[in-house]
Amino acid sequence: MNTKKSPHTALIHSDYRAPAGFAAFPTAIHHASTVLFENVAAMRSGDWKDKNAYTYGLHGTPTTFTLEARLAEIEGGTQCLLAPSGLAAIAMVDFALLKTGDDVLLPDNVYNPNRELGRWLEADFGITARYYDPLVGAGIAELILPNTKLIWTEAPGSVSMEVPDLPAICAAARARGVLVALDNTWAAGLALNGFDHGADIVMQALTKYQSGGSDVLMGAVITRDRVIHDRLSLAHMRLGMGVGADDAFLVLRGLPTMRLRFEAHDKAARKVAAWLKTRPEITRVLHPALPDCPGHETWQRDFTGAGGLFSVLFDARYTEEQTDRFVDALQLFGIGYSWGGANSLAMPYRIAHMRKNWPDQGILVRFNIGLEEADDLIADIEQALELMK
Ligand SMILES: *Cc1c(COP(=O)(O)O)cnc(C)c1O
């Protein structure tokens, strides 16, 4: 167009195109709702499911497609869908795979908002949600009903830390044609390969280690099976699960350092956990790499590492008032949800209220060990234990 434009139009239209051939390591941040088609024919033949073309910002941009492809590769899968939070990713799986009359099995130690989702499915959607002992292993076979369509697993449960026997659960599920979804957030896709251990669907809260900055909320659902992926895609599209370009960039930015961060969290967490094990105030250290933790042998068999997240049980002689005082007295630990960032966190849980069956006494406190020096964290915990008494 060579006709002279008004400056008002020039605010919007320009013939300038930046030269092609720019290359740099970071993925470009593409902000878009509208995506332009070459012509009407291209628009008419556009398919929102096609990851090799663009139809609408919600269905993908070069930034989000790149993040999806990278996450699928890390997890050993072939397809990935992004969701605006880890919980949204869980909801996408449920809405894609369950319908009225179906049954879903959840571990009794499931991430609590996933349990809340189960309650909602029961109350308003005519889907039954039943809870199983996370250590049930092959015994899951006895719980599978003809209408059971999905089994959720978490390896390990992110508060009470039981490590499930994923291969045994998945083998029993496969024999009955039931799909298994794994919440693999604790292991970040680094310390456990969900697909190799039998899962059909792997979910990640990228909010945690992938972002690493305590500044992004995002989730991902990864598959190795085209048919399952297509069912998930339909729910993804129908529910309008888009993610912001800047957030996708932040997660992409976090990936190259995730291994280093994960290993640093792991090393420091094991040091702090081993020290806590020597303390008389603590009866059990629920860290999968320690024998106190239910499923420790399964962790040894299936995992190649641990992260920064573990819990402890205080001796039953300490009241909740005292353990609250302990948490309040910590200087280097923030009190807050989530984990996987540089800052250490401590969180007391009323675990007996969260579970159908919880045999232990004593208050549970969960630690996210950040990237501070482990000895400083230990000194901080030590002073807080003294103040508690
Ligand atoms: C944090 C978390 C989620 C949910 O992620 P959000 O992005 O906070 O919604 C799901 N599962 C586990 C195990 C988590 O720790």
pLDDT digits (tens, 9 = 90+) for 343-368: 999 999 988 777 777 777 889 999 99
Task: Determine the Cα–Cα distance for residues 33 and 376; give it in Å rounded to an integer.
Answer: 47
Calpha distance 71→204 (Å, rounded): 9
373 Cα–ligand 1 center, Å = 26
pLDDT in tens, 288-304: 999 999 999 999 999 99
> In this predicted structure, what is the pLDDT of residue 357?
74
Give the residue-averaged pLDDT of 121-137: 98
Q: Are 71 and 65 in contact (CB under 8 A)?
A: no
Q: Tell me whether residue 10 is exposed, middle or buried, using C-beta atoms within 10 angstroms of its C-beta: 0 to 12, 13 to 18, 19 or more.
A: exposed
Residue of 338, 339, 366 with the most ligand 1 atoms within 8 Å of its CB, for mutation: 338
Which single residue is written with the structure tokens 């081993």?
Answer: 274
How remote is the CA of residue 375 from the centroid of ligand 1, in Å? 28
pTM: 0.96
CA atoms within 13 A on the CB side of 39: 1
DSSP E strand stretches across the chain: 79-83, 103-107, 128-132, 148-154, 179-183, 201-205, 219-223, 282-286, 309-314, 334-335, 345-349, 364-368
Q: Output the CA 278–ligand 1 centroid distance in Å.
A: 31
Domain-by-domain residue ranges, the chain? 40-252, 258-388
Distance 237 CA to ligand 1 centre (A): 21
HEC-encoded secondary structure of 148-159: EEEEEEECCCCC
Taking CA atoms only, the protein residue closest to ligand 1 atom 2 is 205
Judged by DSSP in three states, 41 sits in helix
CB 180 within 8 A of CB 198: yes
DSSP code of residue 27: P
State in Å: Cα 72 to ligand 1 middle.
18
Residue 86 has pLDDT above 80, yes or no: yes
| CB proximity list for 383: less than 8 A, separation 6 or greater | 329, 331
Residue of 231, 224, 218 lying closest to 202 (CA atoms):
224
pLDDT for the residue 4: 85
In this predicted structure, what is the pLDDT of residue 350?
Answer: 87
86 C-alpha vs ligand 1 centroid, how far in Å?
Answer: 5
- Read off the pLDDT of each residue in 20-32 and give the average, rounded to a whole number: 96
Pairing of strands 282-286, 219-223: unpaired
Please say if the pLDDT value at position 252 is more than 60: yes
Which of 135, 190, 194 has the alpha carbon at shortest distance from 162?
135
Please choose from 159, 185, 201, 368 the residue to mutate so as to test ligand 1's pocket, defined by most ligand atoms within 8 A of CB. Answer: 185
| Closest protein CA for atom 3 of ligand 1 | 86
CA 300 to chain centre: 21
Sequence-distant (6+) residues with CB within 8 A of 141 are 172, 175, 176
- Which residue do the tokens 């945690």 mark? 208
CB neighbour list of residue 159: distance below 8 Å, 6 or more residues apart: 109, 112, 311, 349, 351, 354, 364, 366
Sheet holding 309-314: strands in order across? 282-286, 309-314, 364-368, 345-349, 334-335
Average pLDDT along the chain = 96
d(CA 202, CA 232): 12
Give the pocket of ligand 1 (CB within 6 Å): 85-87, 111, 154, 158, 183, 185, 205, 207-208, 217, 219, 338
Q: Three-state SS for 347?
A: strand
- Is the per-residue pLDDT at 242 higher than 80? yes
CA 307 to chain centre: 13
Ligand 1 nearest-atom number relative to CA 309: 15
- Best residue for ligand 1 mutational test, from 85, 94, 106, 111 (most atoms within 8 Å of Cβ): 111
The residue to which tokens 């819990």 are assigned: 311
Q: Do 40-252 and 258-388 share a fold?
A: no
**How many residues belong to the chain?**
389
Identify the band that residue 195 occupies on the pLDDT scale cut at 50, 70 and 90.
Answer: very high
Taking the centre of ligand 1 as the mean of its atom positions, its distance from the CA of residue 83, in whole angstroms, is 12
Helices (H), 7-153: 7-10, 40-45, 62-75, 86-97, 112-125
Q: Are 79 and 231 contacting, i.e. CB atoms less than 8 angstroms apart?
A: no
Q: In the 8-state DSSP scheme, what is residue 368?
A: E
Q: Phi, psi at residue 143, to the nearest 5°?
A: -95, -15
Q: How confident is the model at residue 2 (pLDDT cuts 50, 70, 90)?
A: low
Lowest mean pLDDT among 103-112, 196-205, 357-366: 357-366
Residues 365, 311: contact at Cβ < 8 Å? yes
pLDDT at 240: 96
pLDDT tens by residue, 40-79:
999 999 999 999 899 999 999 999 999 999 999 999 999 9
- Find the range with the poorest average confidence among 116-130, 167-181, 199-213, 353-367: 353-367
Distance CA 163, CA 153 (A): 10
Atom of ligand 1 nearest to the CA of 87: 9
Q: What is the CATH number of domain 258-388?
A: 3.90.1150.10
Residue % of the chain over a pLDDT of 70: 99
pLDDT higher than threshold 60 for residue 1: no
CATH class entry, domain 40-252? alpha beta
